[in-house]
Structures are given as structure tokens and as C-alpha cells.
Amino acid sequence: MEHKEKRIVIDDKSLPFTDGETILDVAKRNHIDIPTLCHLKGSMPTGACRICMVDVAGARTLLTACTVPVEDGMTVRTETPEIIRSRRMTIELMLSSGRHDDCLVCPSSGSCRLQELAFRYKVKGASFKDTGVTYPMEAVNPFILRDFSKCILCGRCVQVCNEVQVNEAIDFGYRGAQTKIITKGDLPLKDSDCVFCGECVQVCPVAALVPRDARMVPRISETEPVRTTCSYCGVGCQMNLHVKSNRVWHVSGCEEAAPNFGSLCVKGRYAFDFIASDRRLTTPLIKENGSFREASWGEALDLTARRLKEIAGVHADAVGVLTSARVTNEENYVAQKFTRTVLKTNNVDHCARL
């Protein structure tokens, strides 16, 4: 029997699909833009934000594209006057909840998804009564600033913490207008199970979760991303250094690249201050009579070679070499070759085993 390909029509385009795909999956694959806020790639769709509403022929109401599985013969429109009205109202409701009247000084301005959608749908501001619930900013940890007056309760942070990183440090807490993202017991992050991977900061579409120093440094939207590989361990996570004026201000994981697909650990994401630190050594130091003095590379290398030769000449096993996960495979190879063939000892090890 001839196999008939299943198809769906989105905005007059007839498109094939495979079972299990949602309307959003098919639209994305075919470069049809349906706005999303709560949708998080690789996680169970929650349908929390209602911004991805589309018109499915025969349905009684608009449906969320991120949750509805496609069916053979389905006909969908992604932007009608009714959809635009619905999206505007959703954005107005979000703007009415919490404090979004200070985009000018907000650290996420320029990269905020809510700001972008408000502009796209020509929403002038909050038009519903504020819930009146306010939250103090939480800044009692070295990495993350939590400002729930900007939270739109999209749930992306909860999903990424629980489903992607599997740290299970945060969840929805309280009820109704009091609903808030909390740790167990609503403790500050520093007293919770949080490991400060910063994954929740990367996926937060607004400024509810930002790096601790976000109000003192250039906004991410003012920087240029430079793709590189994390130098902290052998996993080889792909990251973007966000650079302005020849200085790194933020780090984010590359969402499209293996092996990490956007994830980073606390070191890769936050431990980059050393790059611009004025405490970095820029010249070799030689210790004499208990204190260090600056030396040239030539002098330092000559001294090191002479002393290694003297010590190894007496007893080869009195010297050893420790290599590093922060250098390349080739450099580690050369270091062990040097140790075995020049210093004539097998005392060679690697910092990953310390």
C-alpha cells in the first residue's frame, strides 16, 4: 500500500511533519516565526506564557503552538488580527505585573524578550492594575542578582534547573498573585542547593535573573560575542565571550554547539575576572633570599634549566613535572616527552588527578 505523507498547512504553506511534532516545531523548522517566551528547547512544553497563540481551523479558541501536536490536514494561521490582539493583551498583563517602567536603566535592555515583543506588537505599557506585590532584590551571593519585580513567571529557570542541569534548586512557590520562583524554604540562593551554574540566568528572558555585577558593566546587548572553547577542563564546552573595548564582560554557553549546547558550570560562566586582573604575572619572578624579583624570560629559563640539570644529575627521581588541563593536548604531550627523555624520569602527572 502506498504510504501517504502527512502534511499540515501553516500560513498557506503545505508542510510535511513527523508524528509527535508540535505546531511550533514544524513552524521553526520551516523558518516561520511564532513568538515564544516560556518555550525552552529540550524541555517539556508548559504553555505558561500564552504568547505563541495561533489560529487552528475548527478550534473553538486560539491554541498554544508550543504544546499542540500537529495532525494530518491541520490548517494554521500564525498572525491574524485576533492573534495580535491576544498577544498584545498577554504582553500588557506581563508589563502590569511587577516593575517594567525602567527599561532605560534595566541591565537587560536590548536583549530582553519582553521589551522586544512589546516593540513588535506596539504595546505602549502596562494597561492593567498592578498586583501591588513587590520583592526586594537578592544580591547575597557572588554570582547572581535576583529581581523578582521583573519576573514574568515564564518558568524557564525552573525547567532548566530541574530538567537540563538536574540541580533541582528552584521551583514555583506560593499561590495566585504571590506566586514566585523560590528555593526550598524560600531561602537565598547561597543557602540552597544552587551550584551557581548560571543556567537560569542565561535562559531568563527578562532582567529577573542577571549576573551579580550586571548593573555596573556594559549590557550584553552592547558587546560582541567571540566564540571560544572553555579553558577550565577537558570537556571543551563551547562559549561566547561578550567583549567590549577589548575586555570580556559576560560569558554565555553556545546553544547550538556540542558538547554543552548552552550549559556551562560556575567556572566557565563566572570565573573570568582573571583575564583583566592587574594581579596577573606578566614577567617571570625569581626568588632570592626569600623574596621575588622580576627577571627576563631568558634569565628565568636559563636558571630553571641549570637547576633541573644539577638536581637531576644527582638523582633523576628528585624532579617531577605536573602538567595542566588548561593547556592543549600537544603541550601536555611535549611536557611528558621532555620529562621522560630530557629529565629521564617517569615522574609526570596531570592536575586533573591531584
Question: Which among ligand FES, ligand SF4, none contacts residue 91 (Cβ within 5 to 8 A by kind)?
Answer: none
Interaction of residue 208 with ligand SF4, rule CB under 6 A: yes
Question: How far apart (Å, rounded) are the C-alpha atoms in residues 153 and 138?
Answer: 17
| CA angle (156, 188, 137) in 5-degree steps | 75
Of the ranges 7-15, 36-44, 86-94, 218-226, which one interacts with ligand FES (CB under 6 A)?
A: 36-44
- C-alpha count within 13 angstroms, C-beta hemisphere, residue 242: 19
Among 8, 17, 23, 36, binds ligand FES (CB under 6 A): 36
Question: Which among ligand FES, ligand SF4, none contacts residue 47 (Cβ within 5 to 8 A by kind)?
Answer: ligand FES
Rank residues 45 and 268 by Cβ distance to ligand FES and give the closer one.
Answer: 45
Q: 35, 31, 200, 223: which is closest to 111 by C-alpha?
A: 223
User: What proportions of the chain, in percent to the nearest 5, are helix, strand and coil?
Assistant: 30, 20, 50
Rank residues 90 and 260 by Cβ distance to ligand FES and give the closer one.
Answer: 90
Instruction: Order across the sheet with 238-244: list the strands.
Output: 224-229, 238-244, 247-253
Q: DSSP code of 186?
A: G
96 to 135: interface string for ligand SF4, x by CB under 6 A: ----x-xx--x-xx--x-xx--------------------
Neighbours of 140 (CB within 10 A): 12
Among 70, 123, 154, 214, binds ligand SF4 (CB under 6 A): 154
Among 35, 155, 253, 268, binds ligand SF4 (CB under 6 A): 155
Question: How far apart (Å, rounded) are the C-alpha atoms in residues 31 and 204?
Answer: 23
- Report which secondary-structure segment, H or E, holds 219: none
Question: Which among ligand SF4, ligand FES, none contacts residue 207 (Cβ within 5 to 8 A by kind)?
Answer: ligand SF4
Among 48, 157, 194, 209, binds ligand FES (CB under 6 A): 48
Strand-pair category, 53-56 with 321-323: unpaired
Among 156, 219, 242, 250, binds ligand SF4 (CB under 6 A): 156
Torsion of CA 61, 67, 73, 76, to 10 degrees: 50
Among 28, 39, 146, 269, binds ligand FES (CB under 6 A): 39
Q: How far is CA 347 from CA 310, 317, 326, in A?
A: 17, 7, 20
Per CB under 6 A, residues contacting ligand SF4 are 100, 102-103, 106, 108-109, 112, 114-115, 150-157, 160-161, 165, 167, 169-170, 181, 194-200, 203-204, 206-209
Per CB under 6 A, residues contacting ligand FES are 36-39, 47-52, 64, 66
